[in-house]
Structure 1
Amino acid sequence: MPTTPLPAVLPGSGDNDYARYMRTGDLLSLQKGPGEWVHPDELLFQIVHQSTELWLKLTRSHLSRALAHLTADLPSAAELLLRRAAEALRLITEQLHILRSLPPAQFAIIRAALGNGSGFESPGWQLLRSATTELDIAFARLLSSLGITPVDLYRGQPSDPLYRLAEALVELDERIALWRTEHYTVATRIIGHGVLGTRHTPVDSLTKLIVHRRFPTLWDARTALTHASAHAVCPEPVQP
């Protein structure tokens, strides 16, 4: 049976409280309308990137809160927020898949409407870079205050809250690299190799970012442990 809609009680514009709380009128007006499109797939391209910025806004908020918990010596609370942030990055990576369906000839039409706009100018990614730098510094200071190194930490127990926090940072770093990998493959699938992006940067330069690490000492610790293990298994021969 149909129900009688309840009256809106929240302030703002909209016929009901859902529209007022979610501000759907504002949200759905942020995309170009049909009369403004150079091609209908502009809507797809714009929504993917706008929703990415929203997820990155959430990610930045989580990382700020995680930093506060880390500073207050609450590693478990920080870990939870870092895991959420990594999940948000997984979601924005998966939504890039839909852009693979853009035919190169049609995207060339859309590309002309982008001006000099580039993903390098994304406020979400700029804030994410600063947030991860702050976290890297804070975590290094915490380990230093305890008199331990990342290698010492990884020789400990995986159940240790600091160990788990380190792994959450690594997972976040890995998610950034996976997004960059997907972004590069989607870009080259649509516009090809050896071409310049809208910022006049070679598209193949994106590959250099894939191997960049936001928490390098945690990755270096793995290398150090592997080298130490190899030396232990294969000791130097005894000289006669």
Structure 2
Amino acid sequence: MTELNHELIRSIEAQGNSDYEIYLQTKQLLSLQTSYEQLCNPDELQFQIVHQSEELLFKLLNHTLLEIHKNLLEQNVNKILSLFQRAHLAQSNILSIIELLHTMSPKAYQEIRLKLGNGSGQDSPGFNIFLKIAPILWKTFKKIYLENSDEKIEKIYNSNFNHCDTYLIAEAFLELDDKYNKFLYFHIKLIGRSIGLNAYSLKGNIVSALNNRISRSLFPELLEIRSQMTALWGNTYGVKRNSITPEQKVDAVL
């Protein structure tokens, strides 16, 4: 390593003297990655930072979900929707960070993999806590907004649809679910790009089995109601429709 590189590496390490550094504990934060001299290759630093950043964002996401739970109990609709927006943005940032790893070559990852033991993304504490909080949140929503009133999922989406607060909160849950599914999809695509979909994980499991997770829903009732509505529509107007006639095309233009 040249003297210039040594100097640059030293400048990256925070001194921790300014108020900014003290408050954010940057000296400790930037010491949590493997030292430059001990990296198996330059991409290992990116690999660590991406996964550490994911855990920090999951911490924010999970803390936000706990705040949503508190406000669900208090029926503070505006706060609930505002917090859901934050949660969705945290999820979006996790997805964006994952894409950084697309710049890592398969060869570089094979070298990094030697240092991972039998570690797996499925061991992520932030992700696993999220999976525990989400159903609790949904149960509370149903109890407060559905079971304690005469509202039902079918009513707020179909027979009594009026874009009410309960509907908006339910759609915020669906957005949380959608981004969860995207996270699973991004994860399996990353695996495909790094070790291949026919490979085995460090725990000895076939990677392709993870494909079964992608279609899972945290809140399946929100998807089922859409299928039910479409089935009812089909019963009324026909499942298979005729093509638009020339006369209908003219009427549409006019």
Please confirm whether the aligned pair reaches a TM-score higher than 0.5, indicating the same fold: yes
Structure 2 match to 1:150:
153
Residue identity matched to 2:143:
R
Which residue of 202, 205, 209 maps to 1:201?
205
Instruction: Answer with 1 or 2: which has the greater Rg.
Output: 2
Structure 1 match to 2:97:
95
Q: CA deviation at 1:69?
A: 0.6
- Report the secondary structure of 2:226's partner residue: helix
Distance 1:146 1:201 in 2: 46
Confirm whether residue 113 of structure 1 aligns to residue 115 of structure 2: yes
- The superposition leaves residues 132-162 of structure 1 with CA deviations (integer Å, 9 ceiling, x where unpaired) of 011111122121111222111112122x111
- The superposition leaves residues 13-71 of structure 1 with CA deviations (integer Å, 9 ceiling, x where unpaired) of 93111001111011101100122212221100000000000000000010000011111
- Report the secondary structure of 1:32's partner residue: coil
Distance 1:202 1:137 in 2: 34
Residue identity matched to 1:175:
K
Distance 2:16 2:44 in 1: 27
Structure 2 match to 1:161:
165
Distance 1:30 1:98 in 2: 19
Residue identity matched to 2:210:
L
Distance 2:34 2:25 in 1: 17
Superposed structure 1 runs of 4+ greater than 6 Å apart: none
- 1:189-228 counterparts in 2 under 5 A? 189-228=193-232
Distance 1:154 1:166 in 2: 9
Distance 2:229 2:106 in 1: 46
Unaligned runs of 5+ in 1: 1-12, 236-240
- Report the secondary structure of 2:56's partner residue: helix
Structure 2 match to 1:4:
none
- Report the secondary structure of 1:179's partner residue: helix
Residue identity matched to 1:46:
Q
Aligned residues of 1:173 and 1:215 also touching (Cα < 8 A): yes
- Of 126-135 and 32-41, more deviation after overlay is shown by 32-41
- Of 24-33 and 201-210, more deviation after overlay is shown by 201-210
Confirm whether residue 185 of structure 1 aligns to residue 189 of structure 2: yes
- Of 23-32 and 145-154, more deviation after overlay is shown by 145-154
- Report the secondary structure of 1:192's partner residue: coil
Structure 2 match to 1:41:
43
- Report the secondary structure of 1:146's partner residue: coil
- Report the secondary structure of 1:117's partner residue: coil
Distance 1:217 1:117 in 2: 34
- Report the secondary structure of 1:113's partner residue: coil
Identity across aligned pairs (percent)?
31
Q: CA deviation at 1:121?
A: 0.8
Distance 1:80 1:202 in 2: 40
Distance 1:29 1:232 in 2: 65
- 1:43-62 counterparts in 2 under 5 A? 43-62=45-64
Residue identity matched to 1:212:
R
Distance 2:45 2:118 in 1: 19
- Report the secondary structure of 2:202's partner residue: coil
Distance 1:82 1:197 in 2: 34
Residue identity matched to 1:148:
E
Structure 1 match to 2:34:
32
Unaligned runs of 5+ in 2: 1-14, 240-254
Residue identity matched to 1:150:
I
- Of 139-148 and 127-136, more deviation after overlay is shown by 139-148
Distance 2:82 2:133 in 1: 16
Distance 2:73 2:233 in 1: 33
* Count of residue correspondences: 222
Distance 1:178 1:126 in 2: 16
